[in-house]
Amino acid sequence: MRLIFEKSSPGRRGVSLPELDVPFSAVLDEKYCRKEPACLPEVSELDAVRHFSNLSRMNFSVDTNFYPLGSCTMKYNPKFTEAAAAMDEFSSLHPLLPQLLGGGMLAQGALEVLYNTEHLLCEITGMDAFSTQPLAGAHGELTGVMLVSAYHKDKGRKRKYVIVPDSSHGTNPASASIAGYDVVVVPTGKDGFMDMERYKQVLSEDVAAVMLTCPDTLGFFNPGIKEITDLAHKAGALMYYDGANLNAVLGKCRPADMGFDIMHINLHKTFATPHGGGGPGSGPVGVRGELADFLPISRVVRRDDGTFALDYSRRKTIGYIAPFYGNFGVILKAYAYMLALGKDGLIQVSENAVLSANYCLARLKEHYLPAYAKERCMHECVLSASAQLGKGVHALDIAKYLIDKGFHPPTIYFPLIVKEAMMVEPTETESKEMLDTFIEAMIEASKLAGADPDALHSAPVSMPVKRLDETAAARQPDLRWQAKSK
Amino acid sequence: MNVPEDLLYTKDHEWARIEGDNAVIGITDFAQDSLGDITFIDLPKQGAELKQSEWCATVESVKAASDVYAPLSGQVVKVNSELAEHPELVNKSAYDKGWFAVIKISDMSQKGKLMSPAQYKEYTEGLSK
């Protein structure tokens, strides 16, 4: 497909502006004005409409295709949440309203949504307080590690290290590092869980926090989780829960009961808000006990008369981390989702998500090596294409083949500790028929690896672009269209 | 898998070639093969003090970004500036043109913690199973 710049024709316009009927005055100093025209595409309205309509039809999304991208939890976003967010009463509110004198009374509904969402998240996770302000999961993580730092500082402790397992999401060590901590990585043992001997060795009075997901990135629930959190607490360290895998345990167990002190939730991974290509996202951060004193301002409070307001007077707060109160529209969608599904619905979400992943694991484990010899997984299963490797077929080739079959590929080459990893997370909304079609395509790919590996090497063949040269794209990135010099 | 006889190895797949007081360091053939096509390498700065088993470089490939750890402690006396423009040298020539840096070894006794070629060969064969 040609770029819109390449469809440009000199002088063609999408709109006709009326003649200037006021005196012309130059508002900008000449030094701020460009000497050459900006070289914008010159197209008609119809050209622009067709261009972007056709681009949108090339999009691969949960709304068009099965999208089992492990660790990313590509949940279907039910459309009623869009309707809630589009309500004029919410979408037309001015974000500064609650800060203006008397303005808070004109935004009670929105403040109540924030307050109630925080309290529902507390109920689901067992935490004592939540802030919905962080603007994405990684932002929530950084906020969480800043809370760790503020807590230890308040206690007069100097601590240097944050422990993460080698199966962790890359954002865990990144957040800890950006917040100023040195990261200590603990390897995964033969059983697929964090190596406890090594963990005990590195745990000391210098450790500020231990960051974990549970179920972990390999899709397993660690039965020793309580021992891990108890040991950390004995050393005076805090336990941080990466909520990326919360979709597996809704209503089944709570991070606070496992012994976690701080956590974040990716609303898009668990509460069906859009998984933005860079945003807007939402990564609420939750804490237990006295850690609530350090949460970012402002806090939404319920006053004695039942009205809601923003409270900025928190002595120990880490301060401001986001403009306004987070991505309100996203929080609103998550709130609508929680209310519509209710307690029983949310429990069923997790049950179905785990059932779907186990169904995939059970049917695929004869064709692809499971990452670890376990009968059951949680919400995602990690398989390896290492058996296909001998025939010259990599996980990448299988992923590309699946595109031709109409599926978004699963996550590949993650977790890093699994050779030729393929991480399948079907989520709770897919039917058995859809799972079967996907599984058949995976089995077919495995058979082709033996019979006709070149068929896999050349995939995809049905897409607007064929196999991309990812190495050249990374080594010599061509990121920007440039006009040919005249 | 190519495992030259004149080098020492780590379990994280780095190699060191000891030349007098200095050591040339890099990553092994096994490492480059597992990483796939390498697209970018963040090397240590000249003059930097490296500590054995701690960070010394980051390698990005089409699959992942991975940390590389110093096989020995010492000061960086030279880095392979060719790798900035041509990271693929590590894929093509892990032990020769794809070297990372030369360090002046600060503690020769650390050699004892490294693997011999035979030990490393056995170690990687265990990993491939």
pLDDT for A114-161, tens place per residue? 999 999 999 999 999 999 999 999 999 999 999 999 999 999 999 999
Pick from B60, B63, B88: CB nearest A413: B63
Which residues in A lie closer than 8 A to residue B62 (C-beta atoms)? 470-471, 474
CATH number of A88-339: 3.40.640.10
Instruction: Give Cα separations from A83 to A87, A89, A279, A371, B19 (angstroms).
Output: 6, 12, 19, 41, 70
- Confidence check: pLDDT of A279 > 80: no
Peptide bond into A458 cis (omega under 30): no
A304 alpha-carbon distance from chain centroid: 37
Predicted local distance difference test score (pLDDT) of residue B126: 85
Flag whether pLDDT at A49 surpasses 70. Answer: yes
Alpha carbon dihedral B37, B42, B45, B48, in 10-degree steps, equals -100
Mean pLDDT along residues A457-463 = 95
Percentage above 70 pLDDT, chain A: 99
With CA atoms as reference, the chain B residue closest to A170 would be B65
Span A6-31, pLDDT tens digits: 999 999 999 988 998 988 877 788 88
Cβ atoms of residues A358 and A377 within 8 Å: yes
| Distance between CA atoms of residues A335 and A227, nearest Å | 34
Give the mean pLDDT of A244-268. 97
Percentage of chain B with pLDDT > 90? Answer: 88
d(CA B67, CA B60): 9
Q: What distance in Å separates the CA atoms of residue B82 and residue B26, rounded to the nearest whole number? A: 13
Looking at residue A423, its amino acid is M
Q: Residue A476's pLDDT is what?
A: 85
Structure tokens at A105: 């009374």
Give the model's pLDDT for residue A485. Answer: 58
Instruction: Give the bridge partners for A311, in sequence order.
Output: A299
- Do the domains at A88-339 and A352-473 have one common CATH topology? no
Domain ranges (residues) in chain A: 2-61, 88-339, 352-473
The CA distance from A374 to A358, in Å, is 11
Range A294-316 average pLDDT: 96
CA-nearest residue of chain B to A412?
Answer: B63
Tell the residue number behind the tokens 């979408």, with chain if given. Answer: A91
- pLDDT given for residue A475 in this prediction: 86
- Residue A132 is classified by DSSP as -
CB contact at 8 A, A382 and A188: no
Are B63 and A475 in contact (CB < 8 Å)? no
Mean pLDDT, chain A, whole residue set: 94
- Identify whether A173 is preceded by a cis peptide bond (ω within 30 of 0): no
3-state secondary structure of A339: helix
A1 pLDDT exceeds 90?
no
> Which is it for the CA torsion A112, A113, A118, A121, positive or negative?
positive
Q: What is the pLDDT of residue A416?
A: 84
- pLDDT by residue (tens digit) across B21-37? 999 999 999 999 989 99
Residues A192 and A221 sit within 8 Å (Cβ to Cβ): no
> pLDDT at residue B129 above 80?
no
Choices 3.20.20.70, 3.40.50.720, 2.30.30.230, 3.90.1150.10: CATH for A352-473: 3.90.1150.10
- Burial track B89-121 (b if 16+ CB lie within 10 A, e otherwise): bbbeebbeebbbbbbebeeeebeeebbeeeebe
Per-residue model confidence (pLDDT) at position A106: 95
CA distance B52 to chain A (A): 15
Distance CA A420, CA A389 (A): 8
pLDDT digits 0-9 by tens, A226-246: 999 999 999 999 999 999 999
How confident is the model at residue A276, as a pLDDT? 66
Q: How far apart are CA B92 and CA B98, in angstroms?
A: 8
**Do A475 and B87 count as a contact with CB atoms less than 8 A apart?**
yes
Answer yes or no: is pLDDT of A216 > 60: yes
Q: Is the pLDDT of residue A354 over 90?
A: yes
Report pLDDT for A480: 86
User: Which two structure tokens, joined as six digits, stand for A288?
Assistant: 């237990």
Predicted ipTM > 0.95: no
pLDDT confidence of residue A280: 83
E-assigned strands of A19-128? Answer: none
Identify which of A259, A272, A244 has the alpha carbon closest to the alpha carbon of residue A140: A244
Instruction: For chain B, say whether A478 makes contact (Cβ under 8 Å).
Output: no
CA distance B129 to chain A (A): 10
Q: Report the alpha-carbon distance of residue A6 to residue A66 in Å, rounded.
A: 33
Across residues B80-104, what is the average pLDDT? 96
Sign of the torsion formed by the C-alpha atoms of A402, A403, A407 and A410? positive
Query: What is the average per-residue pLDDT within B38-51?
Result: 95
Residue of B nearest to A475 (CA): B39
Q: Is residue A479's pLDDT more than 90?
A: no
Contact A413/B at CB under 8 A: yes
Asked whether residue A364 carries a pLDDT value surpassing 60, the answer given is: yes
The stretches of A322-462 forming alpha helices (DSSP H) are 328-364, 386-389, 395-404, 432-451, 453-457
Q: What would the two tokens of residue B19 be? A: 């030349």
Q: Look at residue A277 in the predicted model and tell me its pLDDT.
A: 61
pLDDT band at residue B128 using 50, 70 and 90 as cut-offs: low
Output the pLDDT for position A323: 86
pLDDT band (50, 70, 90) for residue A373 = confident
A416 has a chain B CB within 8 A of its CB: yes
